[in-house]
Amino acid sequence: MARTMASDDVVEQPLDPLSSAEAAAHHIVETCLKDGPVGPVGLEIEAHCYDRTDPRRRPGWEELTAVIAAVPPLPGGSAVTVEPGGAVELSGPPGADAATAVAAMASDRAVLREAFARAGLGLVLLGADPLRPAERVNPGARYSAMETFFRASDTGAAGAAMMTATASVQVNLEAGPKPGWADRVRLAHALGPTMIAIAANSPILGSDFTGWQSTRQLVWSRLDSARCGPVLGAAGDDPASDWAGYALRAPVMLVHNPDPEPVTQWAPFADWADGRVLLGGRRPTAADLDYHLTTLFPPVRPRGFLEVRYLDSVPDAVWPAVVHTLTTLLDDPAAAAVAGEATEPVATAWDRAAQLGLQDPSLHRAAIRCVHAAAERVPAPLEESMTMLVRSVEQGRCPADDFADRVATHGIAPAVTELAQGEL
């Protein structure tokens, strides 16, 4: 398992174009999942960055990069990057297991928080920015081109919110042994609604309660389903082929010539590969295909390993337990059996989970069984976090409820200020 973000802006062009969509599909099938044992876990955590005294101000690019440049080497080895709207992401190297990955990420977050606090800034773990309007501060050419693409495809507002106002905890897990790929990927999808309900932490966007517990998930649902919807086909028996079909049907967002340029016509990658359209005046290469895959954002994305992308960014007290829960339910065979049975009735309830969270009785029942299965297998370092998560789930509460209560008591800006200043 490798870091996933560092290569998204770079395409090295081989000379030979792909011969056809069939050749492109073959390339995807051969590379999208890697046969091997489960165990290693990679984490990526995004946090919104606020001025600790003026939470409505969005720190700028030069300010953010100056702070990051002064951050000492992180003990857990995470890389620090800035998202389009100024959210700060830590991308950790794979740990031997969830507990190891969590410990490394927690140590890196502590160092990063301290460095930002010295600069008068706070890093807040929420699934959506509840206060500021969407605004891009990262000047990267990729993000400028993405904005143009979203506007041309009539998803400009949702695209801007996705890029600049949402944040997540991403869990990267090995694909596992090849004979189990279908079951593993099916379960990763089936767990989605239940885990969304458990981790929902974005009830407010742009200073308004949206009526959704995970507004982050709502924002993603308003983007093109060909790019952001679930991958699996009807049966889900061949996830590699399902991913290939999904990727070839998805419209091309950006073409490198050599900088990223937006594609403002609807052009499925299959049409480009077959020569029915020419983008950038040429046929695509394997490097173009690999880059195209980085512009697809399904809730579970195969990249040799599995990127699980459907979790809101959640507070420090519980994200370790959320990571342990998801990892255990996928990696431990007995826990996976419990999870498969528990989530079957709600396996496709994506919107219901995002809107109602654990207020939905069926999702609540599934969540209780899932967190209990994870709690039975929790290692000692994660027991405190897991106890907190189990208690919240049993009470039918997700982090969005806690944040909404804080806002009801103090108001949005004061609530954000408290979090930015580290007041729990």
Contact at 8 Å (CB) between 166 and 128? yes
Predicted local confidence at residue 15, as pLDDT: 63
Residue whose token pair is 């950790």: 92
Contact at 8 Å (CB) between 74 and 108? yes
**How many CB atoms sit inside 10 A of residue 383's CB?**
13
pLDDT along the chain (424 residues), means of 10: 48 72 97 97 98 97 98 96 98 98 98 97 98 96 96 94 98 97 96 98 96 97 92 82 96 93 96 96 95 96 97 98 98 98 97 98 98 98 98 98 97 97 75
pTM listed for this prediction: 0.95
Residue 116, Cβ density class (10 Å: 0-12 exposed, 13-18 middle, ≥19 buried): buried
CA-CA distance, 409 to 233, in Å (whole number)? Answer: 45
Exposure string for 11-20, b = 16+ CB within 10 A, e = fewer:
bebeeebbee
Candidates 35, 46, 31; CA nearest to 129 is: 46
What residue segments make up the domains of the chain, in order of their start? 21-421
Predicted local confidence at residue 232, as pLDDT: 81
Q: What residue type is 121 in one-letter code?
A: L
Domain topology for 21-421: Creatine Kinase; Chain A, domain 2 (3.30.590)
CA-CA distance, 158 to 221, in Å (whole number)? Answer: 9
Sign of CA dihedral 118, 123, 129, 134: positive
Predicted local confidence at residue 55, as pLDDT: 97
